[in-house]
A and B are shown apart, each in its own frame.
Chain A
Amino acid sequence: MMRGMIMISETNSFTEKFDLLGCIQCGRCTGGCPVTVRADLNVRRFVYDAYNEEKLDELARLAEIWDCTTCNTCAVRCPKGLKPLEVLLALRSMVVESGKVEPTVRDALQSVLLEGNPWEKPRAIRCDWMDGLDVKMAEPGVPVENLFFVCCTIAYDPRLQIIARNMVRILNKLDLDYGFIGTDETCCGSEVRTLGEEGLFEMLIEDNTELLNSFEAKRIVAFSPHCFSVFNTYYPDLKSEVIHYTQLFDELVGENKIPWRGELQKKVVYHDPCYLGKLSGVYDEPRSVLQKIPGVELLEFDRCRERSLCCEGSGGKMWVESHSKKERLAETRIKDARALGADIVAVSCPFCLLTLEDALKGLGFEEEMRVAEIMELLGEVVEE
């Protein structure tokens, strides 16, 4: 009897948490889910089955719960305003809670706990990317206009460090009050959340809120759409406004503050990162920055903005490989860009850069096209 009562209350918590009874099983979620073309993921089915509490353990064992890239298409399309993907993340949490995760996931989470980043890199070398640069550091208690938050992946991956380095070079040219955090900076928890480690995510929110609030920042400028989105969605006690760097540069180009030194005579197509676009509604600013670069001809994918195709880099996918052998979405994306005649696929997210560049190399298009972060392109045309 007691056990029965507990089970009922558990059912209610899962059902209530995700408003499962609000689902009308219309299937728009699965219909729009980009992963369905390569994996057996049917998110509508999970929303339906998760109502049955006795089935949760069985659902949590299904490999396809790890195929979700958390691109948010299902949530954007849901006519009832539900977030079907959250059911999958809750199932991942059950797996994490039981300790039966892939070693790659375990190591990434442990690294966040111990070193503040998911890449198993020491905290002490988090700022090695600053070598040889004159970087202004923010100090707790001292007012600063723009407090920069460098994503772990950009801070550590040698391929991506150029994003942060270019940023500093350009900032130093402008009359802009800014500061960086330094080695105390810690993972925002976006990937921790999507990998299902709720407890660690809550800890990060608490610690990061305290750290970020210790700076008297007017606003926090995030390099990665993931940090940007997670701060705005899951950090209710942050005192500062959080923007993405493309929003800052949209302001700067609008005020004619950017000292252009060259041209980029290229056809550029912009790929909307899910966490900046579908999750945060920032579509125009990156485009406006690109359009202002002298010489750039901006193209559009057919699947752009709310309908943008996910690159499969988020949702913890950097640590979990899909078992599907079908074409990666990033490859589809690169083929689309090539068909458009683009010279450059521009992105504004570290994960998009990695997945799309990998796909481009895999397809052997290196000679004719390139993938570049907007900050990379700016570094090539802005006076230093």
Chain B
Amino acid sequence: MMGNILVLAEHRQGSLREITFEMLAIAPQLSSDMGGEAVVLLIGSGVDEMAVKIASYGVKVLVIDDPLFEDFNGEKYQKVISAVIDDLKPSVVMTGHTAQGVDFMPPLAVEKRLPLVMEAIALEYTDGALKATRQLYSGKVNAIVAFKPADTYLVTIREGIAEAPEITTAGPVEKINTPLKEDLDYRKFVEYIEAEVGDVDITQSDILVAIGRGLKEDKNLPLIEELAKAVKADIAGSRAATDAGWISQDRQVGTSGKTVKPKLYIAMGISGAFQHVAGMKGAKTVVAINKDPEAPIFNVADYAIVEDMFKVVPKLTEKLKELKS
């Protein structure tokens, strides 16, 4: 139908991925601008609960529930979405720019000869035309691109560009038959292999408190743990902190460790060697505590506290607890 947006719900190992809800922050408004409505397509096996969850955001959910879709298979998704496009003729098909989305959207575009914009960070419908914003040159330039006129436009949306909307009156859930009747014999799901992570994956943390050589000895760790608890942060550190055994190796930040992009990075007793800074320069806000005013970490810090960390941290923790209570 004209103006309708088909949003593909994404899930893995029984749980919906955040990108699904992020797209629900974009699709309903855009589809109403286009004179249609947003409809979510959920493909899976035994996904009733997920369907209800998605519908609670006030959208109509189409469910294809079949054992054939027990696990993700880009090839199967392509066939299903291809048939659904023929059937429903949506104006836009929207998926996440995720390992799943990038698997089947390009071949789908080729198969159906439809225009595709990958990794859009915004979409707008003005003067009767759909336009997408994409980033070029490692994010230095935003380009607004138009689509070649077509009945259906394909677009993959970058993760994390929107926040899930509020839950509202539940929309309807409708089951439809699978257009794919048989399993594929040439591309099969084998197994999930989880990346080796320790107890915590610091690359996914929103807030990190990072320790360096300035911690001096492990008996000072509880001080840091308390601060981390107060701000709901994970603990990371420099190579020196790993060497000293204060943190495990999978919490090491730097060129020989992890690259992290938290919203807040609190560096304590870290001098800020180039090799460490390289691993945390993506942090949105950096707070550095170091008693050496010449410490290079201050060159990348948004907030600099030149003081002994052992004086600052307890006060900081206390204040944070106060603010929360």
Residues from chain A with a CB closer than 8 A to the CB of B239 are 321, 358
Pick the residue among B244, B249, B259, B278 that contacts A321 (CB under 8 A). B249
Are the CB atoms of B257 and A104 closer together than 8 Å? Answer: yes
Q: A119-B278, A354-B275 are in contact. Are A362 and B256 (CB under 8 A)?
A: no
Dominant SS among interface residues on chain B: helix
Find chain A residues with CB under 8 A from B273 CB.
159, 354, 358
Interface presence of A317 (CB below 8 A): yes
Complex Cα–Cα for A103 and B197 (A): 13
Q: B278 and A320: CB pair below 8 A? A: no
Of all chain B residues, which has the CB nearest A366?
B213
User: How many Å lie between the Cα of A321 and that of B244 in the bound state?
Assistant: 14
Of B213, B249, B274, which is within 8 A of A362 by CB?
B213
Least CB distance from B52 to A in Å reads 37
- Complex CA gap A333/B299 in Å reads 31
Q: For residue B202, give the distance in angstroms from its CB to the closest CB of chain A.
A: 13
A230 → chain B closest CB, angstroms: 20
Does B240 sit within 8 A of A, measured CB to CB? yes
Measured in the bound complex, the distance between the Cα atoms of B16 and A323 in whole Å is 35
Say which size band chain B's interface belongs to: 20 to 34
In the bound complex, residues from chain B placing their C-beta under 8 Å from that of A358 are 239-240, 273
- Give B203's nearest chain A residue, CB to CB: A103
Question: Dominant SS at the A interface?
Answer: loop
Chain A residues near B243: list those with CB within 8 A. Answer: 328, 362
- Asked if A207 is at the interface (CB within 8 A of a chain B CB), the reply is no
Which B254-276 residues have a C-beta within 8 angstroms of A? 255-257, 259, 271, 273-275
Q: A361 to B278, Cβ gap below 8 A? A: no
Residues of B within 8 A of A119 (CB): 255, 274, 278
Contact status B240-A321, CB under 8 Å: no
Asked if A158 and B296 make an inter-chain contact with CB atoms under 8 angstroms apart, the answer reads yes
The contact string, 1 if C-beta is below 8 Å from chain B, for chain A 303-331, is: 00000000000000111110101001000
Binding site for A on B (CB under 8 A): 213, 239-240, 242-245, 249, 252, 255-257, 259, 271, 273-275, 278, 296, 299
Give the top 4 A-B pairs by smallest Cβ distance, nearest first. A157-B274, A321-B256, A362-B240, A319-B256
Q: Which A residues contact B (CB, under 8 angstroms)?
A: 103-104, 107-108, 119-120, 156-160, 317-321, 323, 325, 328, 354, 358, 361-362
